[in-house]
Amino acid sequence: MKISVIIPTHNRLNILKQCLQYLDAQTLDKDKFEIIIVDDGSTDGTDKIKDTFFESLDLNIKYFHQNQGGPAKARNKAIKEATNDLLVIIGDDILPKPDFLNEHLNIHCQHPDQNIAVIGKTSWDPSMQITEFMQYLENGIQFAFNELTNDNISFKHCYTSNISISKSFLIKPNLLFMEAFPYAAYEDIEWGYRLSKNGITFRYNENAKAYHHHPISLKDYKKRMFYAGKACAYLCKLHPEIGFTKKSASKKLYLLEKWFKASYMEFILENNFLSKFCNISKIKQEKWIKTILSYYEEKGFREENAKLSNK
């Protein structure tokens, strides 16, 4: 059994280079895996990487470029180009530990007759400055590895930053990613839902570890949550049975109240002096962050849901 590592990328040249260096340091024999990079319309010089940087690595790399169409389209292109059946899908800002590929491979070798997808553990890159906000994201908002056990993993934990699956399972019934998603969010959850409906069992291997090198602040993440809300509206239209519902009260005053509350909390949290003066505990801070992000997600959901309802 050999591996094809799938990496969609967009304007992250420097961290993509680090990702490839970490893959070059894998303990798995180099003849047992290939790397498929699909450049999703980068404008930062990523297209030049194949002319110089690839030569410094002892890796079998295939590079493809496409006009920007989102991570789902890029992953689908890479899957179709993969020559090996076992696919390991990661992000361009993921730094796999040396035994990462071996750990994914071992689980599939132990269960060759089962339709499984293996989810590895992703944590923040310790070389970064990891803020309290980032720690909070890692325990429930962006990732929820603290909730996982080895078996009975929900499709809601289908994290495409660190997952492996058989290509043959995807290609035959056309279980590729849905490219129509308007934003880079929830397309992995929707994919995971269809996989589970078609017989995939998700397993968790905490030893398949990788670091996530993506510093982010509350200011940046609230924008992400806004577009995640939009994507969630699209998901709910496709699969209302999932139950991913958001409040959709018709009164404008409801959202205005949530905006005022979220804005007040955000102002306090982003001002160190005020946070100390107000004696904001860690528990209270986490509740406030959840309230702020919930507002932006709901705002995006409402906007996209209104558009979809008018179509």
In tens, the pLDDT along 39-50 reads: 999 999 999 998
Q: For the chain, what is the mean pLDDT? A: 89
Supply the angle between the helices 187-197 and 218-238 in degrees, to the nearest 10.
Answer: 40
| Residue 209, pLDDT above cutoff 90 | yes
3-212: CATH number: 3.90.550.10
| Residue 156, pLDDT above cutoff 60 | yes
Percent of the chain with pLDDT over 90: 64
- Give pLDDT tens digits for 221-261: 999 999 999 999 999 999 999 877 665 544 566 677 787 78
| Confidence band of 276 (pLDDT split at 50, 70, 90) | low
Q: What is the pLDDT of residue 251?
A: 56
Q: How many CB atoms sit inside 10 A of residue 163's CB?
A: 24
Domain-by-domain residue ranges, the chain? 3-212, 218-309
Q: What is the pLDDT of residue 116?
A: 93
Percent of the chain with pLDDT over 70: 92
Pick the residue with more confidence: 52 or 165? 165
- Give pLDDT tens digits for 59-116: 999 999 999 999 999 999 999 999 999 999 999 999 999 999 999 999 999 988 789 9
Q: What is the pLDDT of residue 47?
A: 92
Residues 256-265: contacts with CB under 8 Å, at least 24 apart: 258/294, 258/295, 258/298, 259/295, 259/299, 261/291, 261/295, 262/291, 262/292, 262/294, 262/295, 262/296, 265/291, 265/292
Q: 3-state DSSP call for residue 209?
A: strand
Question: Residue 138 has what DSSP assignment?
Answer: T
Considering only CA atoms, which of 240, 234, 244, 256 is closest in space to residue 303? 234
| Residue 182, pLDDT above cutoff 70 | yes
| Residue 278, pLDDT above cutoff 70 | no
On whether the pTM is more than 0.85, the answer is yes
Strand arrangement of the beta sheet that strand 3-9 belongs to = 61-66, 33-40, 3-9, 86-90, 162-166, 116-124, 201-212, 94-96
Q: What is the pLDDT of residue 249?
A: 46
Q: How many CB atoms sit inside 10 A of residue 149's CB?
A: 9
Distance, in Å, from the CA atom of 76 to the CA atom of 37, rounded to the nearest integer, reads 11
